[in-house]
Amino acid sequence: MKIETIRNKNVSVRIPPSKAHTLRSLILASLSGGVSHIRNPLLGEDQLHLIESLKRLGVSIARDDQTITVEGSGGRFHPVETTLDCGESGVAMNFLTALACLSDRDVTLTGKPGLLKRPVGEIVSGVRQLGGAVEYAETEGYPPLLARVSGLSGGEAAMNGEKTSQYFSSLAIASPCAASDVTIVCRDDMAEKPYFDITLDMMRRFGVEAVNRDYKRIEIKAGQRYTACDIDVESDYSSASYFFAAAAIAGATVRMEGLAADSVQGDREILAYAEAMGCAVVRDGAFLTVSGGDLTAIDASFRDTPDLVPTVAVMAAFARGTSRLRDVAHLQFKECDRIAAVRDGLGRLGVETSVDGKDLIVAGNPGGIRGATVSSWDDHRIAMSFACAGLAVEGISIDNPDCVKKSFPDFWQRFSVFHA
C-alpha cells in the first residue's frame, strides 16, 4: 500500500477506544456476578478473539457497535467448547492461561503460528505455583497449552517481570477466585508498570482490592467477589501516538478528541516525548492539539512504554542528532521482534541504527530519507508507525496494511484525513 504525502496539514480526529481497557473490562465482567455493560469498546481482532474465547468458556456476551453486554460467570466457567483460539493476542493467551483453570472442563489454548512462537513459560510457572494444572500440549515453554480442571489453591507465586507485566495482571485478575489468599512476587524490575496499574484500577472498579507493594509484592485477599458494573472505555494514547508522529514528521497541526487528562495509561508519555523533540502540545478540555516543529533527538527510557518505541523511532529518523531509546530489549517478545523490525524499516529508508546493550540508537537523517517498501512484519504498530513517514517522503509503501486491524481497525480511514 503506497502512502500519499500529506495534503491537509490542519486536521481533527477522534481517537479510538483503549485496547487495554476493553480487554480487561471483558475479562473482569466475565468473572463478575450480574450483567455488565461495556460502552464504547474497541472491537479489533484481539478483542474479537477474546470475546469468542469467553463465549466458549460459557460466558453470555452480546454486542453491537456501541456496547458489549456481558452476563458474568461469578468466577467459575462452564465451557461449551474446549478449544480457545487466541489468534495473535499475547494478552489473551497470558490472561486466559490462569482463567482457564477456573473451568469445570479441560481447556486447550492455542492461536495463530506467530503466537505459538511467543514464550509462555513464566505465566505457566506462576499459575502452577498457585495450584493451577497447566501442561504444554506440544513444545515446552510455548503454546498450545492444556489447562486441566484444577481451580487455584492460592499461596505465593514468584515470577520474572523483565519481559512484560501481563503475567502479573493475569494472576492478579484470577487471584480473588483462589481458595486462599494470594501473594505475587516480582523477582526483578517489572516492565510495563502502567499496564499493571490499569489492571489494578479496573479490578477496583469491579469491586476487588489488591495491595501493590512497589511492584515487588502484590497481595490479594481470597473471598472477594467481582461485581458487575458499567464501563465507559476511554480513548487510547497508543493509537493517538501515530497522530502525534504524523504532526511531528509532516509539520502538521492535529487536534485530537477524547484523551483523558487523568488517564493511568503509560502511553500518555507520548505528550512528553513529543514536546522533548520540539512539538507544541496544548490541552483544551477534552481536546489535545499537537503541532510539529523542528525535531531534535531524544534520550529517554521506554521500559514502561514499549508500544511507543516504533512510533518514536520513526520520529527520531526525522530529527536532528542521534536519539537513544533506552530499555527496549523486551520488544523482542511482541507480535514480532520489534527491534529488528524497526531497524529493518529505517534501514530501507536510509537511516542508520544500532543496538547498544538494551538501547536502540537512531541517527537522525532529516532531508536524507528515501522512499522504499517497508515490511510491516505483520505487526500493526510497525505498519502504523512507518505510515507516518510516508506523509513526508514520496515513495513509501507498507506491505500487509491490513495487520492494523489487530488494534486499530479503521486506522487507514482515520489516517486519510491527511489527504482530504
Catalytic center residues: 307
Q: For residue 81, how far is the Cα from the chain centroid?
A: 27
> CA gyration radius for the chain?
21
Q: Would you call 141 exposed, middle or buried from its count of C-beta atoms within 10 A (0-12, 13-18, 19+)?
A: exposed
Q: Are 302 and 290 in contact (CB under 8 A)?
A: no
Peptide linkage before 176 cis (omega within 30 of 0): no
Distance separating alpha carbons of residues 370 and 349, to the nearest angstrom: 5
Q: How far is CA 153 from the centre of its chain?
A: 29
CB atoms under 10 Å from CB of 183, counted, come to 17
Angle (deg, nearest 10), helices 193-205 and 19-31: 40
Residue type, 135: E
Q: What are phi and psi of 374, to 5 degrees?
A: -105, 130
- Geometric angle at alpha carbon 232, from 77 and 291, rounded to 5°: 130
- β-pair type (397-398, 373-374): parallel
Cα–Cα distance for residue pair 220/215, rounded to 1 Å:
13
Residues 146, 172 contacting (CB under 8 angstroms):
no
Please tell me whether residue 417 adopts helix, strand or coil conformation. helix
First to last CA, the chain: 18
Residues 37, 13: Cα–Cα separation, whole Å? 26
**Distances in whole angstroms, Cα of residue 72 to Cα of each of 78, 101, 209:** 11, 17, 19
- The three-class DSSP label of residue 412 is helix
Question: Taking every pair of C-alpha atoms in the chain, what is the biggest distance, in angstroms?
Answer: 62
